[in-house]
Amino acid sequence: MRNIVILISGSGSNMAAIVRAAQRDRWDEHLNARVAAVLSNRADAPGLAIARDLGIPTAVVDHRAFATREDFDAALMAELDRHAPDLVVLAGFMRILTLGFVAHHAGRLLNIHPSLLPAFPGLHTHQRAIDAGCRFAGATVHQVTAELDHGEILDQAVVPVLPGDSAEALAARVLSQEHLIYPRAVAEFLRGLSSN
């Protein structure tokens, strides 16, 4: 059985979409995969309660308890490795990962970013898209590499930028599409692993 571990920092809505898809579509039977755990860097992340309600084990590795990013990533890797992950899925995990962490999980680390990469890597993507006069925005599922938001693109969703849009309104429209494409991209990635 392939183990998926999902990392969150907040509400966990993308994590919940993935877990529900895994349960609904019987990934255990059809893809030989399961969501084995949900980890967070914040003990107060609302997504932890959602994961527990969905029957997924959770753990917290609080980044504030570590003096350096490297120390935190080492502790996070140790906790991750307890679950023997075949795939690590970042779902609103708001930490920039060290090169060592990315190398340790190379080829099995996915992220979703709220823009149509390569446009607008980094933060404040929705406001930046509005400020640039974009007519379309969206979300991208990609593999994680050492360069922030630059890995191979696995899936994208496009939404219109409407006249008078606020960053919040655009973000909500993009998020609804994230909940569709992220589970789909994870399932496709798992199918690719099965064929290798």
Q: Could you read off the pLDDT of 167-176 as tens digits, one per residue?
A: 999 999 999 9
Question: Of these residues, 83, 105, 113, 142, which one is catalytic?
Answer: 113
By CB neighbour count within 10 A (0-12 exposed, 13-18 middle, 19+ buried), where does 129 fall? buried
113 labelled catalytic: yes
What domains lie within the chain, and their CATH numbers?
Answer: 2-195 (3.40.50.170)
Task: Convert the pLDDT of each residue in 36-71 to its tens digit.
Answer: 999 999 999 999 999 999 999 999 999 999 999 999
Q: Residue 115 has what DSSP assignment?
A: S
pTM: 0.96
The structure tokens 């979409």 sit at 17
- Please report which confidence band the pLDDT of residue 196 belongs to, taking 50, 70 and 90 as the band edges: low
